[in-house]
Amino acid sequence: MWNGTIRVAAFERETKQVLDFIVFRTIFILILALSAGYFRPASSPFWPAALVGAALGIMAIVLERRIARISLQRLIGVVIGVTAGLLCAALVSLVVGNAGGETTNALHFVEIVCMLLFAYIGAVTGSSKGELLNLSALGGLFGAEADSRATRLILDTSVIIDGRIADIADTGFLDGTFVVPEFVLHELQMVADSGDSMKRNRGRRGLDVLQRLQKMSNVKVQIVKEDFPDVSEVDMKLIELAKVYQSKIMTNDFNLNKVAHVRGVEVLNINELANSLKPIVLPGELMRVFILKEGKEYNQGVAYLDDGTMVVVDNARRMISKTIDISVTSVLQTTAGKMIFGKYDERTQGAVAQSAQAAAAPNSSVERRESPARREQAVERTD
């Protein structure tokens, strides 16, 4: 049900683009087929020439769709590589032509092979090295496309199921376009249809989060169909898609975070954001915590703060299921989160109790000073 609603919303947004694609491309193929049939050689029949023209039109459309998926840097690299390859082929053909003397069929064949070979090598080399181009050095000539791609954030399955992305977007700290690939949506559907009730609830919650994001006015959810059949793992597909879109990946997956950094893809981790927003606790401060369970080491107790931070307390094993005051000894910050280490001391507990009594002492003294006056007023009334 959830998956169907999301797909319907995405279909409504893409209907116009699909209709334009079908209508205009069909007209283009028909015009090219009729032109090839009309301008055919006199000795050739009409329909074979028209079929050749239609085939060329289909090949042009396939090439256009492939070009639309690659980044601008790779496209510029391909153009530069093909140009360099054709220049090399022209030089080789010039040398071979002067050495061969008369023009023969074999010489024409060598020239055609050189042209195709060098053009192919130039295109492949330019595509692989195109990511090294620095478009910002061209004075902002291609800045518009870079800015539009930079506002895209690719969401993975873990951050959708987590749900905090919707709360952050609702506050207005995030805007732009959230990109959800089809393979991520398919993985969410598999989790939602799982036989395990816990996984099923997590998958349905993720689909609910997507619906909530679609209803927000400051963000746009774009479901893309780009896939990489040669790549089997979803994490690697996300990295390849981020390279194509030149966008960042938003995730909670620790392993995906590390692999993406190694491959040069920027990652926004919700857990790291939550850890950076946690209040700072310094050694020596006093904290009031509820000891929930026993720790791993001897005579340790474990407590948790409201944000989920673990607090390990020494000498607190016998204080399980009690709220006590502890003294912070150290704070350990890791990529997985923050851990606070503290120590329970009865003397510290007594000092806190005495300070609390001292804070309430002035009120009690006032009451004792007021009581004699009340007794004198009572005696006067009886007289």
At 60-91, the pLDDT tens digits run 888 887 777 677 777 888 888 889 989 998 88
Residue 27 pLDDT more than 50?
yes
Residue 373 included in any domain: no
Residue 138 pLDDT more than 60?
no
pLDDT tens readout for residues 239-251: 988 888 888 899 8
> Residue 16: pLDDT band by 50, 70, 90 thresholds?
low
Instruction: Domain of residue 172: give its range.
Output: 144-276
Domains contained in the chain, number: 3
Of 133, 165, 188, the residue at which a domain comes to its end is: 133
The more confidently predicted of residues 275 and 51 is 51
- Please check whether residues 23 and 123 belong to one and the same domain: yes
Closest CA to 156 of 52, 251, 244: 251
Helical spans, DSSP H, in the chain = 2-38, 46-69, 72-100, 105-129, 143-150, 157-162, 164-171, 182-192, 197-214, 234-245, 254-262, 270-276, 346-382
Token readout for 197 is 């009730």
- pLDDT given for residue 383 in this prediction: 45
- Please check whether residues 109 and 152 belong to one and the same domain: no
Residue 86 included in any domain: yes
**Sheet bearing 219-224, strands edge to edge:** 219-224, 176-181, 152-155, 248-251, 267-269
> Residue 203 is part of a domain; what is its CATH number?
3.40.50.1010
Residue 291 included in any domain: yes
- Please check whether residues 256 and 323 belong to one and the same domain: no
- CA 72, distance to chain mean position in Å, is 21
Cα(237)–Cα(211) distance, integer angstroms: 23
Of 114, 133, 152, the residue at which a domain comes to its end is: 133
pLDDT tens readout for residues 367-379: 444 444 444 444 4
- Please check whether residues 171 and 127 belong to one and the same domain: no
Q: Which residues contact 7 (CB under 8 A, 6 or more apart)?
A: 185, 223
> Mean pLDDT over all residues of the chain?
78
- Please check whether residues 93 and 158 belong to one and the same domain: no
Residue 377 included in any domain: no
Q: Which residues contact 152 (CB under 8 A, 6 or more apart)?
A: 176, 177, 178, 179, 222, 245, 247, 248
Residues 243 and 265 sit within 8 Å (Cβ to Cβ):
yes
pLDDT tens readout for residues 218-238: 888 888 888 887 888 888 889
- Please check whether residues 150 and 265 belong to one and the same domain: yes
> Residue 176: pLDDT band by 50, 70, 90 thresholds?
confident
Residue 144 pLDDT more than 80?
no
Residue 164 included in any domain: yes
Residue 230 included in any domain: yes
- Please check whether residues 219 and 337 belong to one and the same domain: no
- Please check whether residues 119 and 228 belong to one and the same domain: no
Residue 135 pLDDT more than 80?
no
Stated length of the chain: 383
Q: What is each CA distance from 90 to 83, 105, 193, in whole angstroms?
A: 11, 17, 60
- pLDDT given for residue 347 in this prediction: 64
- Please check whether residues 272 and 307 belong to one and the same domain: no
Cα(224)–Cα(96) distance, integer angstroms: 49
pLDDT tens readout for residues 327-338: 888 888 766 667
- Please check whether residues 119 and 174 belong to one and the same domain: no
- pLDDT given for residue 376 in this prediction: 44
Cα(157)–Cα(186) distance, integer angstroms: 10
> Residue 302: pLDDT band by 50, 70, 90 thresholds?
very high
The more confidently predicted of residues 145 and 48 is 48
- pLDDT given for residue 382 in this prediction: 42
